[in-house]
Structure 1
Amino acid sequence: MGSSPALPALGWLVRPMPPIDEAAAAALLAERFGVRGVLRDLGSQQDRNYRVRTATGDYVLKIANPASGPDALRTQCAAVDHLADALPGLRLPRAHRGADGEVVQWLTAEDGDLACRLLDYVPGEPIMDSRHLAPPVVAGLGELAGCIAAALADLAVVEQPGPGRLWDLSCAPAVIEALAPRLPDRARADRVLAASRAAWALVRPYAQALPVQVIHGDVTDNNVVCEPGPDGRPMPAGVIDFGDLGAGWTVAELAVTCTSVLHHHGAGPASVLPAVQAFHAVRPLGDEELAVLWPLIVLRAGVLAVNGQHDALLDPGNAYASAALDREWAMFEAAVSVPAEVMTAQLRHALGRPPVRTAPVPGHRLLPALSGDVPALDLSVHSDDLHAGRWLDPHAQRALAADALAAGRVAVRTRHGEFRLTRTAVDTPDAPATCALGVEAYLAEPLEVRAPWAGTITRHAADGLTLTGDGPDLVLDGLDGACEPGPVEAGRPLGTVARRDGAHVLSVQLSRLSGIRPPRFAPAELAAGWTESCPDPTSLLTDADTDAGEVRPDAPGTRLLERRDRSFATVQEHYFAAPPRIERGWRQYLVDAEGRGYLDMLNNVTILGHGHPALSDAVHQQWQRLNTNSRFHYASVVELSERLTELLPADLDTVFLVNSGSEAVDLALRLAWAATGRQDVVAVEEAYHGWTYASDAVSTSVADNPNALSSRPSWVHTVAAPNSYRGRHRGAESWRYGPEAADRIARLVQQGTPPAAFLCEPYYGNAGGMALPDGYLKQVYEATRAAGGLCIADEVQVGYGRLGSHFWGFEQQGVVPDIVTVAKAMGNGHPLGAVITRREIADAYRTQGYFFSSAGGSPVSSVVGLAVLDALRDEELQANARDVGRHLKDRLLELAERHPLIGAVHGSGLYLGVEFVRDRTTLEPAREETAAICERLRELGVIVQPTSDRQCVLKIKPPLCLSRKSADLFVAALDDVLTHGW
């Protein structure tokens, strides 16, 4: 297999199927196999397949292409039997023998006899349409291919007869050379020819060393049948169509599988990595196999492209072949979108193999007049020079360089391999290319540039040269007076650094990709491959060692999650199975360590948004002045307390300051106990209030604590969750929740356990942001007060204007509580909470001693609280929550009309929930689907998580600065996921 073998005449290899008389096929079924049923054409590229439905089961009548010989068909059947023994859980199309004991029978057609087989129908659905394939599904395909390859490895190698040679990847160049000239689209034909020749040049040196065995040859999305998993994702369950079975390179099995992934919605070259890793785990790949894997993917895609076009021309009535043309071309486009050398390096990185070439590039200095170290700009997500959203300024990099030069620097440079925050994009589902594949030098003076080694100069732009020599290509941009093309000696002047937009800037890049102009930046998912192909040119500018703090694709920091799990209690869970490393935030955006921007639709703690400059400045200034505890006398704690009471009804005039919502609820309960002399509390089911002893005791959400109901202390009594969508009373009947809760309180009084307090979120948060039934709190508060108890409104999540229409959630119900708890939004992420109540209730606590919180109400915490209130007012964030929230809810309701998985859209303002159900009548929760949807949304740049006891509601509680543009991005991303899969 060292060179591509010659093929037999094409007319023999690819022949259209003759017309088939279905009546004759039905007669053959009855006569030869004793089967009678209803036939339905399944479609095929070259064979004719009928599904046969009978009273006892389903079969497939497979009528082979005239090019297929009976020996090949018998071999296929034997291989299926072998796999059935080796992989008993795999669904397979086992063959049935005819009346004469043979698996191959004959059907007389117009042009001669056709070989036929009756196979078991393999239940399940293929996934060849364009729906998105999640990484676990891609991994499942790769694992299946690996299992089949491993199971077939001990079969005797037989030559692949008939049309199977068409799909033998060792024959791919010959197939493409033969078929491409026949295509009507010459531009496409030429592209496929050029790509296949380049790919074969990379395969040829390894061809003789590659392991050969019997392979299936077509473990693809089209031939793998799937069953929906618990989350609705299609998981491989069986394999069909052994028509390409024969001898081949083992790695070709994987190449074929990977190629089939590339046409799916949202797929790109990196999408195949889970398949490669899963295949390797079953059947390890050698270095030679890794070296040829991506070139073989290019060749497979090329064969599909030219053969599909040829089949459509040869058999224009074959709708199956014609329908495949677009997806076959999409596979080719994806396969050639990244150089094979880059993908090979990326594949090695994915399997933990060391880079092939790591030695530094030797050469003379490009700028001999520039001596000493050239300091680097910090453009990473950790940069202290890019706060307050400065990184979104398209001129930020140049401005930082100008600041450094103005401060007296002779030169500054950028870093190679750095994931640049200045490249981060927001409000887009596409991950930007952030990894720098070169460096820029910013100079105070226009210095002369000299050749670091001998070679040949070509000009790629008016101010750009490429120097080609024995090593990597040197690509320079930003030259005045660039030298003429041709040979140059080391040290020869190449030009002078040009002045552009107020600075002298030289761009330097190295490339091991001969004849290919690499991009300046690479996406994070391919950074390892690109940085190996475009090595670091820093040594040509400065003698500095590797940049401290630089984030590289293979840096130890990429294993941060492992370190977290070793030292941080794992019961403190993290979002997502493979969480992005979030290192920066700004307004409604989060940014990971690789410069990927995300829209934060989840973070109800940072109500103002991330990185708020006024808050940062206030904390910085106050910390420099003083930070102590609230038993000292200072102004800010007084000012914050006054501001809080001004936002509430007049009777709520006294403030306690604490550190968190849990502490606030805990203290509120203790106040009620002290004021009433009782301990019994009435709480609402399916609610979460905190993790301290008292707040946990009244938390009834089994999502947060599976034992919440069984471990509840005897002094906690519950009333039904007033869920008007899926609770005991729904829709118009939800008014019944109020009287029932009031009756429950009255019965407690009769039983001698009158409640000290009734505790409730005034807008039902844990259920997904759902309004309480009208009048609910009024009825329950009246019953509580009639029993001598106090009414506690837990505003930790809903307060501070999130509803848009009201600042406090209890206002929506037209009631005034006795105690209000608030936290989260109050500190915009700083640990700050409050309990606001009446003076006599606060004073009653003295019977329990005195109250004190070390950090609650400290000068820094108080200043934080004041800064948050100022920003809420000055930036009109409650009004923004109202307007953007209304727009967002309307858009989500539009989605619900088109996607039956959406059962309901709850909430108000920017306190919303989208509830997913498998059936709108039974309201079966789509729990697993919701988790998978959140994972897919993360891939599209949106951070959101499930909530409710059923974990089937998207929790939508973003910073109140959310813009309409961002809201529309979220809706578009959710629409994409619900349309194309997760």
Structure 2
Amino acid sequence: MTTRRRAAGFDFLEQPALPAPQVSEAQARTILATHYGIEGDAVSLGSQQDKNFLVHRTGTAGPVGVLKVANPAFTDVELAAQDVAAKLIADAEPELRIAVPLPNLDGREVTAVDGLLVRLLRYLPGGTLIDADHLGPAAVAGLGDVAARVSRALAGFEHEGLDRVLQWDLRYGADVVETLIGHVADPAQRERLLTATREAADRITRVADDLPRQAVHLDITDANVVVSPAADGTRRPDGVIDFGDLTDTWAVSELAIAASSVLGHTGTEPVSILPAVRAFHAIRPLTAAELDALWPMVVLRTAVLIVSGAQQAELDPDNAYVTEQSDGEWRMFEQATSVPVDVMTAAIRADLGLASAPAEVGAAAPMLTGVGVEGVVTLDLSPTSDAYDGAFTPGGWLPPDVEERFARRAVSDGAALVVTRFGEPRLALAPALSQRSGDVVPTGVRLWPAQPLTLAAPWDGEVVDGGAGTVTVRGAEYEVTVTGIRPVAGAAVRAGDPLAEAAAAQWAEVAVRPVGAAPVPPLVRPEMAPGWLAVARDPRPVLGLAPDIVAGPAADLVERRDRSFAPVQEHYYRRPPQIERGWRNYLMSTAGRCYLDMVNNVTVLGHAHPRVADTAARQLRRLNTNSRFNYAAVVEYSERLAAMLPDPLDTVFLVNSGSEASDLAIRLALAATGRRDVVAMREAYHGWTYGTDAVSTSTADNPNALATRPDWVHTVESPNSFRGKYRGPEVGRYAEEAVAQIRQLTGDGRAPAGFICESVYGNAGGMALPDGYLQQVYAAVRGAGGLAIADEVQVGYGRLGHWFWGFEQQGVVPDIVSVAKSTGNGYPLGAVITSRAVAEGFRSQGYFFSSTGGSPLSCAIGMTVLDVLREEDLQGNAVRVGGHLKARLEALADKHPIIGTVHGVGLYLGVEMVRDRETLEPAKSETAAICERMLDLGVIIQPTGDHSNILKTKPPLCIDTESADFYVDALDRVLTEGW
């Protein structure tokens, strides 16, 4: 790897056996008492070459330090360098907590005890990242951030104690593996380790002279980075311990070693390191040579860990720390070698925005013969393709032969040849329910000829036997492989010679790659596509066609959104997928990932319902205007809505949204009673208009909600039976207090015009109101001459399963009902239904008009939604699937203490997360992190509630049991592995 000279300090290659010092806990206690004046306990910690103890002082809560007994092979000069470096970083990077040395009774930082060198290091509370089974992107990014800050602080640091040869120094990684490989018992494993090591070392050697060197901690890993015990429950990496591997070496080693530790965690894969690389690069930019060396160093690091662990297990067989690391180290190696170096390096460059476009491959002769360019049709199979419109089958996913159908249709329309696109995700390949993204991105193109087609060799070259139905021509720079054909060439060809025959009405595939490049799979996952596509080449120019131009990444869209779309209109997720298509209870991204949609209570029927789409298209072709014209749809829809509600609710207003509906409901109450005061429930959300915002008191939507209410709004206590002030048998007191407040207002001369609340507590995660609550409160407000308003925007339309309207669960009939969301299945449509007397009272305000509320299109869609709800028995489905889903979620709560309870009924559910089931401390940050992790596993779920600690579980009503189980299984995995 590098030219070696004799080091002033420790040299592992001359002394490769380093058994840890044999120091007992009793001896450690004696050292603490004698040299540090600490009476207490010393608990042995996991360590490989040194011996470490966690120190507790008698009478003091929590640890006070870590006693570190250095391996006798290390000199006092080397230890001094470590202590100086620790203090230097602590001064240079005040945001980091550093395990600096503490003085002994003589004021010295190093203590000599029976030939051993001992130090007491500052204890950093919070635990390390190794404690988590799974590392989420935030934790991984934090690891990279810490590594970069340490690297920045150590730049320019020099000390004679850095002159050492360590087994962890990747300059000597290949030598270490060669030296220790004999300790790996399995011959096959030895061969794999040696092969990977030699390939990695060769890659690093190519750029070694260009790699910057400096002092490096060399062990910024999940085991040595401590997280801060933040009050909000976040686990932000901000502490560094164990400077025992400090040396002078390649600076990028700091990142490579940090990144490699990520791969040992459950659920991670090569691209899981990218947040660490991004964070590191943002603070300490990587050079071109370092980018080339990074992944080979990750591979080399994992091999060194395995052989070192095997050796240490023989030297110290009773060291549980060493033996416990073995499985994780092999997992790291498997992940590191699961993708070719060139591919991962390209993926890293692409993620940093440093990728360069691959060179276009030319051809001496086009492969297509006998087909004019004008007869070629390019088939768009991406998630945004119009070809899929109408291709979905009711009740199912895409038919398995959908791509063949598209090709046949193109041929029937006159195409001589159908060609697919290069590097563009193919929606039909995306699994509907999968915790892992599918192999959907093609690294070549496919051909579907109308007639038998002869393909020619694009250049002079050697014909490589690839097996039945496959032929490869290897030229000077590139090779082209064609599959699904009959080869007709000999051992060598000239440009333009016949190469293969493709049958009519069958798929043939063409792929191109540089000679010597790693074999490229025909289909790859979206996460790794930037890497693989940098190795592959677009075959279209080789065929004689113009190259494909693939759209930019979703990140560009987010940046554009932030520039033109008011930022207060937030988006889901830190790095949101670009969603451009939906079907039933699925959402599809432009990357070709299918997500289970567990939050979209707007699309009650499911996304892209064909009946709604057909109705909209038909009505738009016929008429769309405003409701002042006389047409049948507005009458028929109003009649149907009114018929679904009990007497005396018989008069309908049509609007565009839930906010408008509830705003109008408030105005109706004010007009009908001639009053200005309204009573609302705390912890509720009703909309964004002036009126609905005034009565919305959810602090999740507006942190200042309670403090900024206008004087005409009066709030009653949230009847939260789970975490409110009254629970269990006392929940009836919520209604008693609300009644008393209404009577007090009346006595003060401010009798309310109305009382508004959701019939089931939507913003609190679907929590039912206490039994009899609305009966008592409605009676009180009516007794005062006011009106009862039921906000059914979220809960209505059969979502509860057992009841079509939420107020039915309470056994009441409101005076005014506001509905929306479900009414149009995503089309902007809302309604207010009240009595004729209340409606007539609104005439005192003038007339009412909504340009598109009640339009022919709105009404046609509204009636179609009602038809489909009935015909597909979606309310019954809410009973069946909702009951199954809640039972499974409740069983999950028995397994995971973070689940405090499961609210709701039917498909109006909420999973409330708590840090403690006794105190009910909300797990806000954990809930946000769980939602991010669920996205990785293919589930869209979001927090709700005043504390943002409830998983809003309100999917389209067409969801089936298989999908419900997928949601619960994914949540179980996240809660088991971590987030």
Match of 1:834 in 2: 831
Distance 1:20 1:788 in 2: 83
Q: Structure 1 residues 835, 104: CA separation in 2 closer, same or farther (over 3 Å shift)?
A: closer
- Paired position in structure 2 for 1:497: 502
Q: Aligned-pair distance for 1:428?
A: 1.6
Residue 104 (structure 1) shift: 4.2
Aligned match of 1:852? 849
The gaps in structure 2 that reach 5 residues or longer are none
Deviates more, 1:99-108 or 1:265-274: 99-108
Mapping 1:723-762, distance limit 5 Å: 723-762=720-759
Task: Tell me if 1:199 matches 2:205.
Answer: no
Verify: 1:310 aligned to 2:316, yes or no.
no
Which residue of structure 1 aligns with residue 668 of structure 2?
Answer: 671
Which deviations, in whole Å up to 9, do the C-alpha atoms of 1:533-579 show, x marking residues without a partner?
Answer: 112111122332534xx33xxx2764112221222222222222322
1:52-451 to 2 correspondences below 5 Å: 52-55=55-58, 58-96=64-102, 103-108=109-114, 113-129=115-131, 131-156=133-158, 164-230=165-231, 232-355=233-356, 357-373=358-374, 374-388=376-390, 389=392, 392-451=398-457
- Find 1:892's aligned residue among 864, 889, 902: 889
Residues in 2 aligned to 1:356 and 1:760: alpha-carbon distance in whole angstroms: 57
In 2, Cα distance between the equivalents of 1:675 and 1:32?
Answer: 85
Letter in 1 for 2:194: L
Per the TM alignment, residue 468 of structure 1 is displaced from its structure 2 partner at its CA by: 2.5
The equivalences for 1:631-780 within 5 A come to: 631-780=628-777
1:692–1:438 distance in 2 versus 1, CA, 3 Å: same
SS where residue 844 of structure 1 aligns? helix
Deviation at 1:414, TM superposition (A): 0.7
- Following the alignment from structure 2 to structure 1, what is the Cα–Cα distance between the partners of residues 106 and 784? 89
Contact 2:361 2:542 in 1 (8 A): no
More divergent stretch after superposition (26-35 vs 716-725): 26-35
- Alignment-derived partner of residue 528 in structure 1: 530
Deviations for 1:439-495, whole angstroms, at most 9, x for unmatched residues? 1011112212222122322223311123323223322211114545x4433233222
Q: Counterparts of 2:32 and 2:745 in 1: how far apart (Å)?
A: 75
CA contact (8 A) 1:446 1:504 kept: no
Aligned length: 968
Farther off after superposition, 780-789 or 358-367: 358-367
1:942 maps to what in 2? Answer: 939
SS in 1 for 2:793: coil
Amino acid at match of 1:259: S
In 1, the alpha carbon distance for the partners of 2:161 and 2:350 equals: 35
Shift, 1:264, TM fit:
1.3
Q: Deviations over 1:178-227 (max 9, x none)?
A: 22244111222211111111112211111122111121111111111222
Following superposition, the deviation at residue 50 of structure 1 comes to 1.8
Offset of residue 421 of structure 1 = 1.5
Structure 1 residue 832 displacement after superposition: 0.7
**Mean CA deviation greater in 23-32 or 604-613:** 23-32
CA deviation string 1:554-606 (max 9, x = no partner):
x2764112221222222222222322211111111111121111111111111
Does the 8 Å contact 1:98/1:105 carry over to 2?
Answer: yes
Q: Secondary structure at the match of 2:451?
A: coil
Partner of 1:836: helix, strand, or coil? strand
Match of 1:454 among 460, 463, 468: 460
SS of corresponding position for 1:385: helix
1:517 corresponding residue in structure 2:
519
1:243/1:714 CA distance change after superposition, 3 Å: closer
Tell me how far apart the structure 1 counterparts of residues 941 and 781 of structure 2 sit (CA, whole Å).
37
Q: Identity across aligned pairs (percent)?
A: 51
Match of 1:38 among 38, 41, 46: 41
CA contact (8 A) 1:173 1:196 kept: yes
Deviation of residue 865 (structure 1)? 0.4
The answer to whether structure 1 residue 866 and structure 2 residue 867 are counterparts is no
Q: In structure 2, what residue type is equivalent to 1:457?
A: V
Amino acid at match of 1:184: A
Q: 1:758 to 1:21 in 2, by over 3 A?
A: closer
Aligned mates of 2:932, 2:28 — CA distance in 1: 48
Deviation at 1:116, TM superposition (A): 3.0
Does the Cα contact within 8 Å between 2:657 and 2:829 map onto a contact in 1?
Answer: yes
Question: Structure 1 residues 101 and 815 mapped into 2: Cα distance closer, same or farther (>3 Å)?
Answer: closer
| Residue aligned with 2:817, SS | strand
TM-score by length of 1: 0.95
For 1:738, give the aligned amino acid.
Answer: A
Q: What code does the residue aligned with 1:656 have?
A: F
Q: 1:784–1:790: 8 Å Cα contact kept in structure 2?
A: yes
Give secondary structure in 2 for the equivalent of 1:165.
Answer: coil
1:227-266 C-alpha deviation (Å, 9 max, x unpaired) = 2345534222221222211121001111111101111122
Question: Which residue, out of 580, 584, 587, partners 2:581?
Answer: 584
Shift of 1:863: 0.6
* 1:657-703 alpha-carbon deviations (Å, 9 max, x no partner): 11111221222222223322223222222212122222222222232
User: Whole-Å Cα distance in 2 between the matches of residues 652 and 683 of structure 1?
Assistant: 22
Does 2:812 correspond to 1:815?
yes
Determine if contact 2:668/2:842 at 8 Å carries over to the other structure.
Answer: yes
CA distance in 2, matches of 1:469, 1:635: 71
C-alpha distance 822-289 of structure 1, shift in aligned 2 (>3 A): same
Deviation at 1:860, TM superposition (A): 0.7
User: Residues 584 and 592 of structure 1 are in contact (CA less than 8 Å); yes or no, is this contact kept in structure 2?
Assistant: yes
Q: Is 1:5–1:174's contact at 8 Å kept on the other side of the alignment? A: no
- SS of the aligned residue for 1:366 comes to coil
Question: What SS does the corresponding residue of 2:129 show, helix, strand or coil?
Answer: coil
Alpha-carbon RMSD across the aligned residues, in angstroms, is 2.3
Q: Any conservation in 1 of the 2:81–2:162 contact (CA below 8 Å)?
A: no
Which TM-score applies when normalising by structure 2? 0.95
Deviations 1:618-660 (A, max 9, x none): 1101110111111222222222112112211142222111111
Equivalence map 1:610-625=2 (5 Å): 610-625=607-622
Give 1:310's aligned amino acid: Q
2:18 aligns with 15
Q: CA deviation at 1:512?
A: 3.3
In the TM superposition, what whole-angstrom CA distance separates every residue of 1:47-68 from its partner, at most 9, and x where no partner exists? 2112232247623222223433
2:102–2:109 Cα contact (<8 Å) kept: yes
CA displacement 1:684-735 (0-9 Å, x = unmatched): 2221212222222222223223333333233222222121112221122111
Name the amino acid aligned to 2:372: S
Contact 1:129 1:264 in 2 (8 A): no
Q: Judging changes above 3 Å, is the alpha-carbon distance between structure 1 residues 947 and 540 closer, same or farther for their aligned structure 2 residues?
A: same
Deviation at 1:30, TM superposition (A): 4.0
- Closer, same or farther: CA 129–188 of 1 in aligned 2, 3 Å: farther
C-alpha displacement of 1:140: 1.4
Change (3 A) 1:179 1:646: same
Q: Cα deviations across residues 893-927 of structure 1 (Å, max 9, x unaligned)?
A: 11211222221211010111111222222222222
With over 3 angstroms needed to count, the CA separation of the structure-2 counterparts of 1:328 and 1:969, relative to structure 1, is same
Q: Which amino acid aligns with 1:141?
A: L
* Cα 1:4–1:403 shift into 2, 3 Å: farther
- Bigger CA drift: 139-148 or 647-656? 647-656
- Give the match's secondary structure for 1:376: strand
- Checking the alignment, whether the CA contact within 8 Å between 1:604 and 1:797 is kept in structure 2 is yes
